[in-house]
Amino acid sequence: MLVDKDRTPADPTRVNLGEEWEVRWWCTKFGCTEVQLRSAIGTAGPTTVDVERELKKHGKEILKNMGED
């Protein structure tokens, strides 16, 4: 999955599923699959804090650039 490293979401506080490149960006950022990302958003909503919490709850490792070790 290729991610344009120079491109970042316009709103870093919300996951936008409307743009394919942004879905890939968030999957890379959170270290999850698109299915896992969509499921987390379906359960917790689109805010990045809530998505991160939901993914962690289900044992998904967040990448170090999210501030987690």
Rounded to whole angstroms, the Cα distance separating 69 from 61 reads: 9
Q: Pick from 1-5, 37-41, 59-63 the range whose average pLDDT is largest.
A: 37-41
Rounded to whole angstroms, the Cα distance separating 56 from 40 reads: 10
Distances (CA, A) of 29 to 24, 34: 9, 12
Strand partners, 14: 47
Q: What is the DSSP letter of 46?
A: S
Domain layout of the chain by residue ranges: 17-43
User: Once rounded to an integer, what is the mean pLDDT over residues 32-53?
Assistant: 95
Q: Would the pTM count as exceeding 0.95?
A: no
